[in-house]
């Protein structure tokens, strides 16, 4: 039997998303549940892939199956495609497994030709409506299927309005629309060399192909890359009976969520327009009305809609995003799908649904994307700040941001890439603007509502967004916008507050985010499920405080050299490095000891009761000296200009010192434990400072657990020598102070060789912390400082690497080195404590790998601690599910 490529809505179900796409599966499920869905059928995602596999041809049997399904739909509706007396019109819509809002194409009103349009005019007794549908169809088909520049049609539409003195499209009468149809057909002929296809079956065939092709348009590809959606999924095509929301004031169309997708509040949220088609709402051309007004305008339909919405949410046990149309007082459901929501809403909805008994805690923890809660910790406008609000719009995506106003997506992208903070200001956004939107700090539009393209995309990517700020007049050509007498030009600073909907002139004081009670609840459930500990990378008491507040269970990495960089210490560090004799060097070290002791007292006090892993100095010493190149320029200039001889001599000497210390490959040079072995005074001073601090605090009754971490060990002897030497210092201090401190000695594992000899190294280390920044650098042989700028991003763009390995752990290579290290270390020390402190410690996918490898903890920057807590729980729950 031939493969089944086509499913009637009545043959599908919600669990067939892979095959039918989200939209197809949603329509099928609603049809089965007896909801009013316009009849239709779905051509599968497999058919799309087969279409590509066979060189852009329909697979065998697909078209015949589509024709059978069409006959069925004709039977259900009593209408026929191409029948002048009672024409069936259909929409042809894309619909992939994962929603890709606005990224792919749709054709509406298909089936119109010179005869059916006349039939439709007669049947509806509304020629204006029929010819409006026809001109929209030619316009859409021309753009999507025939690839004709949309402006060619839009310009003519504008001209027709001017000619007839119409203000909006809706004011054009049927004669003007008839003329427009002829004009549009002329455009098609001119641009393609062929007549517009009047044969409805031909139209259908071409439209299906165009939707298949839209899977691979550039914005769809970019969207999938940005959202990690595999390119191999393909899109389904839904062919569905058209219903019309533009048949008068008893008709309309809308989009609504069962809960507010921005705040999570449990109430219907969305917009509708009477006497309009779906595209009018989504495209933001007319500003729609809030759904609550529908209760007043069309109360009976509203009641029915509210009941269906409630039923759908209970059925799917999740927020639904629904599209509906009212045709002459009759409600039709066109789509339901899980509603995309902002991070705030995701957390509140998950927690509320547990409290409502709709889902359990595990499900709540799994429902919120770990990376998404990063946004929750978003910056807000300081409530005490005074500022000038120049306009207000709909608060479409939370958070606030300041940046330079730009008026095209291309500029946003260009300036964004150059490191500028920009805010994209547009009348409305289109799918073409996507790349510019993600390069911006925030998005502002003067039209459109909370379900417009700008709003949906901004929420998805976590950018603050204000839409429908109607008071602003955007002049795209002059690159400026104005509100009353205020004019904002390209490059001027503005602030957009997506939480309140305010548009503000200039910069505004912001405050860092805090954890809401809902997030606190969700994270505490996550803590119950996770096996991994979560620690923070923090170098200062204030960072440690933040880390603790966000739930860190200790410090996993304190990079001590950062303390050397502070202005009051750097001159002493430089003096120490350049010292000609031991006495001078020791005097400097003694001064530094004072500083470091205070630093450690600060951190250990904040982290009382919790482990604090202190990594001894790592970078090469010349990093603390002025740059060789700058010195060379200065010396040369002084020489050429006969400058101050004293200064010249001093700079020449310094240049000489720096030149001696220069290395061709500093990352592979005299750093980490190698430096400590050659200049023992520095790490001895550091360990003395740590233990003096610990003893002082312990005497005060503060519980301390310092863990000394030795970096860049590649050979066991390096660690053995260092540990022996430093533990002697530790013991001496404890003896002097008469205090015994609970401490550990361990090492970073960040050199591939160390992984292979981990069994030897584990003899001298009570803990390992994987330094995956260096391990990735040395595992791949990619310079950390150069690769990203030079070739790595291209590698990712071209698919040579699936992702940036400095962001997400490379499971097969670096992950394998870790696995070997763990396995071998445990043969020597079965209870060894294992952590990770590279940047990967805050990345959800890497955290999943860390869980699988059986690490004790992950350590990441303080603001990523909540993300890591949630990701660690999700890793444990996913693994539990897999093992079951
Ligand atoms: C690492 O290499 O992963 C690490 C944490 O150390 P640093 O980034 O300081 O080299
Ligand atoms: Mg390192």
pLDDT value for 564:
86
Task: With residue 295 as reference, give the H or E element that holds it.
Answer: helix 294-297
Among all ligands shown, which has an atom nearest to the Cα of 846?
A: 1
CA of 418 to the centre of ligand 1 (A): 27
Please say if the pLDDT value at position 882 is more than 90. Answer: no
Question: What is the sign of the dihedral through the CA atoms of 283, 286, 291 and 295?
Answer: negative
Please say if the pLDDT value at position 451 is more than 70. Answer: no
799/803 Cα distance (integer angstroms): 8
Give, using CA atoms, the residue closest to atom 8 of ligand 1: 773
Mean pLDDT (whole number) for 351-373 = 95
Largest CA distance in the chain: 105
Ligand 1, from 561, 835, 837: best to mutate by most atoms within 8 Å of Cβ? Answer: 837
Q: Determine which one of 837, 850, 851, 860 is catalytic.
A: 837
CA of 754 to the centre of ligand 2 (A): 13
pLDDT value for 282:
61
Residue whose C-alpha is closest to residue 710's, from 736, 690, 738, 733: 690
Mean pLDDT (whole number) for 111-116 = 96
Predicted confidence (pLDDT) per residue in 569-596, tens digit: 889 999 999 998 999 999 999 999 999 9
CA of 341 to the centre of ligand 1 (A): 35
Beta strands in 300-412 (DSSP E): 320-327, 330-338, 380-381, 389-392, 394-397, 400-406
- Tell me the backbone φ, ψ of residue 33, rounded to 5 degrees: -80, 5
Asked if residue 395 lies in contact with residue 496, where contact means CB atoms within 8 angstroms, the answer is no
Predicted confidence (pLDDT) per residue in 116-173, tens digit: 999 999 988 889 999 999 999 999 999 999 999 999 999 999 999 888 888 777 788 9
- Of residues 657 and 753, which shows the higher confidence score? 753
Percent residues over pLDDT 70 in the chain: 98
pLDDT value for 99:
83
**CB-count exposure of residue 671 (10 Å: 0-12, 13-18, 19+):** buried
Give the nearest ligand 1 atom to 711 CA: 6
Please say if the pLDDT value at position 22 is more than 80. Answer: yes
Predicted confidence (pLDDT) per residue in 182-225, tens digit: 999 999 999 999 999 999 999 999 999 999 999 999 889 988 98
Q: What is the DSSP string of 730-749?
A: HHHHHHHHT-----EEEEEE
CA of 416 to the centre of ligand 1 (A): 28
Ligand 1, from 561, 747, 773, 780: best to mutate by most atoms within 8 Å of Cβ? Answer: 773
pLDDT value for 233:
95
Give the nearest ligand 1 atom to 537 CA: 5
770/754 Cα distance (integer angstroms): 10
CA of 407 to the centre of ligand 2 (A): 42
The one-character DSSP state at 790 is I
Please say if the pLDDT value at position 102 is more than 80. Answer: no
CB-based contacts of 701: which residues, under 8 Å, 6+ apart? none
**CB-count exposure of residue 587 (10 Å: 0-12, 13-18, 19+):** middle
Q: Which tokens is 732 given?
A: 């001496």
Among all ligands shown, which has an atom nearest to the Cα of 615?
A: 1
pLDDT value for 283:
61
The one-character DSSP state at 811 is T
Give, using CA atoms, the residue closest to atom 1 of ligand 1: 771
The binding-site residues of ligand 1, defined as CB within 6 angstroms of any ligand atom, are 557, 559, 618, 750, 771-774, 837-838
Highest mean pLDDT among 477-481, 496-500, 626-630: 477-481
Ligand 1, from 748, 769, 775: best to mutate by most atoms within 8 Å of Cβ? Answer: 748
Among all ligands shown, which has an atom nearest to the Cα of 770?
A: 1
Among all ligands shown, which has an atom nearest to the Cα of 560?
A: 1
Mean pLDDT (whole number) for 705-716 = 98
Task: Beginning with the edge strand found earlier in the chain, give each strand of the sheet holding 289-290 in spatial order.
Answer: 289-290, 269-274, 252-257, 320-327, 330-338
Predicted confidence (pLDDT) per residue in 216-263, tens digit: 998 899 889 888 889 999 999 999 999 999 888 899 999 999 999 988
Percent residues over pLDDT 90 in the chain: 76
Mean pLDDT (whole number) for 70-74 = 97
pLDDT value for 713:
98
Please say if the pLDDT value at position 453 is more than 90. Answer: no
The one-character DSSP state at 99 is -
- Of residues 277 and 258, which shows the higher confidence score? 258
CA of 540 to the centre of ligand 2 (A): 19
Give the nearest ligand 1 atom to 771 CA: 3
Ligand 1, from 614, 838, 841, 857: best to mutate by most atoms within 8 Å of Cβ? Answer: 838
Residue listed under structure tokens 């303390």? 563
Q: Determine which one of 27, 289, 378, 453 is catalytic.
A: 453
pTM above 0.85, yes or no: no
Mean pLDDT (whole number) for 706-720 = 98
Please say if the pLDDT value at position 659 is more than 80. Answer: yes
Mean pLDDT (whole number) for 655-668 = 91
Is residue 837 annotated as a catalytic residue, yes or no? yes
491-494: Cβ within 8 A, 24+ apart: 491/404, 491/405, 491/406, 492/404, 492/405, 493/402, 493/403, 493/404, 493/405, 494/402, 494/403, 494/404, 494/405, 494/423, 494/425, 494/444
CA of 826 to the centre of ligand 1 (A): 23
Give, using CA atoms, the residue closest to atom 6 of ligand 1: 771
What is the 3-state composition of the chain as percent helix, strand, coil, each rounded to the nearest 5? 50, 15, 30
pLDDT value for 265:
95
Give the nearest ligand 1 atom to 773 CA: 3
Mean pLDDT (whole number) for 303-307 = 96
């Amino acid at each position: 039997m031939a493969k089944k490529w086509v499913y009637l809505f009545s043959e599908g179900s919600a669990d067939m998303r892979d095959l039918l796409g989200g939209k197809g599966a949603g329509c099928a499920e609603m049809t089965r549940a007896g909801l009013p869905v316009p009849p239709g059928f779905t051509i599968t995602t497999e058919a799309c892939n087969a279409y590509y596999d066979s060189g852009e041809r329909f697979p065998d049997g697909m078209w015949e199956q589509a024709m059978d399904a069409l006959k069925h739909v004709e039977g259900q509706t009593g209408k026929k495609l191409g029948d002048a007396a009672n024409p069936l019109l259909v929409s042809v819509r894309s619909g992939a497994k994962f929603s890709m809002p606005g990224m792919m194409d749709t054709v509406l009103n298909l089936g119109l030709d010179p005869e059916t349009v006349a039939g439709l005019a007669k049947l509806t007794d509304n020629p204006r409506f029929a010819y409006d549908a026809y001109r929209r169809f030619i316009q859409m088909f021309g753009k999507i299927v025939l690839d004709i520049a949309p402006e060619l049609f839009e310009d003519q539409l504008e001209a027709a309005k001017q000619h007839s003195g119409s203000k909006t499209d809706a004011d054009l009468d049927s004669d003007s629309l008839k003329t427009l149809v002829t004009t549009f057909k002329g455009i098609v002929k001119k641009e393609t060399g062929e007549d517009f296809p009047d044969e409805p079956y031909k139209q259908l065939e071409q439209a299906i192909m165009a939707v298949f092709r839209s899977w691979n348009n550039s914005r769809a590809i970019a969207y999938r890359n940005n959202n990690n959606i595999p390119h191999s999924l393909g899109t389904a095509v839904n062919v569905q009976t058209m219903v019309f929301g533009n048949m008068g004031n008893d008709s309309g169309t809308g989009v609504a969520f069962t809960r507010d997708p921005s705040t999570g509040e449990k109430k219907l949220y969305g917009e509708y327009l009477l006497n309009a088609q779906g595209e009018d709402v989504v495209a933001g051309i007319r500003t729609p009305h809030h759904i609550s007004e529908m209760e007043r305008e069309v109360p009976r339909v509203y009641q029915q809609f509210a009941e269906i919405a409630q039923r759908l949410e209970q059925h799917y046990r999740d927020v639904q995003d629904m599209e509906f149309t009212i045709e002459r007082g009759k409600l039709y459901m066109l789509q339901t799908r899980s509603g995309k929501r902002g991070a705030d809403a995701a957390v509140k909805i998950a927690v509320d649904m547990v409290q409502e008994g709709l889902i359990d805690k595990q499900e709540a923890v799994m429902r919120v994307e770990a990376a998404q809660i990063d946004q929750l910790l978003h910056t807000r406008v300081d409530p005490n700040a005074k500022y000038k609000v120049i306009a207000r719009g709909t608060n479409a995506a939370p958070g606030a941001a300041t940046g330079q106003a730009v008026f095209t997506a291309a500029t946003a992208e260009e300036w964004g890439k150059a490191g500028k903070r920009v805010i994209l200001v547009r009348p409305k956004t289109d799918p073409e603007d996507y790349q510019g939107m993600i390069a911006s700090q925030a998005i502002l539009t003067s039209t459109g509502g909370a379900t417009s393209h700008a709003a949906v995309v901004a929420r998805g990517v976590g950018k603050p967004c204000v839409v429908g700020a109607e008071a602003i007049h955007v002049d795209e050509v002059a690159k400026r916008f104005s509100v009353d007498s205020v004019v904002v030009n390209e490059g001027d600073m503005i602030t957009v507050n997506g939480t309140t909907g305010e548009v503000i002139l200039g910069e505004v004081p912001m405050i860092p985010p805090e954890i809401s009670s809902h997030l606190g609840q969700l994270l505490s459930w996550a803590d119950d499920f996770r096996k991994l500990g979560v620690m923070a990378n923090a170098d200062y008491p204030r960072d440690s405080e933040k880390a603790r507040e966000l739930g860190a269970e200790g410090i996993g990495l304190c990079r001590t050299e950062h303390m050397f960089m502070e202005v009051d210490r750097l001159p002493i560090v430089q003096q120490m490095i350049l010292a000609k004799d031991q006495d001078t060097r020791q005097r400097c070290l003694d001064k530094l000891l004072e500083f470091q002791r205070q630093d450690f007292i600060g951190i250990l006090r904040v982290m009382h009761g919790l482990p604090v892993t202190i990594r001894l100095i790592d970078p090469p010493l010349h990093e603390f000296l002025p740059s060789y190149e700058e010195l060379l320029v200065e010396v040369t200039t002084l020489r050429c200009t006969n400058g101050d001889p004293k200064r010249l001599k001093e700079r020449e000497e310094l240049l000489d010192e720096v030149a001696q210390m220069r290395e061709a490959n500093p990352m592979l040079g005299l750093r980490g434990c190698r430096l400590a072995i050659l200049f023992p005074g520095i790490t001895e001073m550091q360990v003395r400072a740590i233990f003096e601090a610990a003893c002082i605090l312990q005497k005060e009754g503060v519980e301390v657990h310092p863990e000394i971490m030795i970096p860049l060990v590649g050979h066991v002897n390096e660690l053995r020598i260092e540990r022996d030497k430093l533990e002697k210092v530790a013991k001496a201090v404890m003896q002097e102070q008469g205090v015994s401190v609970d401490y550990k000695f361990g090492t970073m594992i960040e050199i591939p060789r160390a992984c292979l000899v981990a069994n030897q190294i584990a003899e001298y280390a009570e803990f390992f912390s994987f330094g995956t920044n260096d391990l990735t650098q040395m595992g791949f042989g990619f310079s950390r400082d150069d690769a990203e700028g030079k070739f790595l991003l291209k590698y990712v763009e071209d698919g040579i690497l699936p992702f940036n390995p400095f962001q997400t752990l490379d499971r097969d290579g670096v992950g394998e080195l870790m696995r070997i290290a763990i396995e071998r270390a445990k043969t020597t020390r079965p209870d060894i404590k294992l952590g990770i402190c590279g940047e990967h410690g805050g990345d959800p996918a890497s955290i999943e790998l860390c869980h699988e490898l059986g690490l004790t903890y992950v350590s990441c920057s303080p603001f990523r601690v909540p993300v890591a807590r949630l990701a660690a729980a999700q890793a444990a729950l996913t693994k539990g599910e897999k093992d079951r």
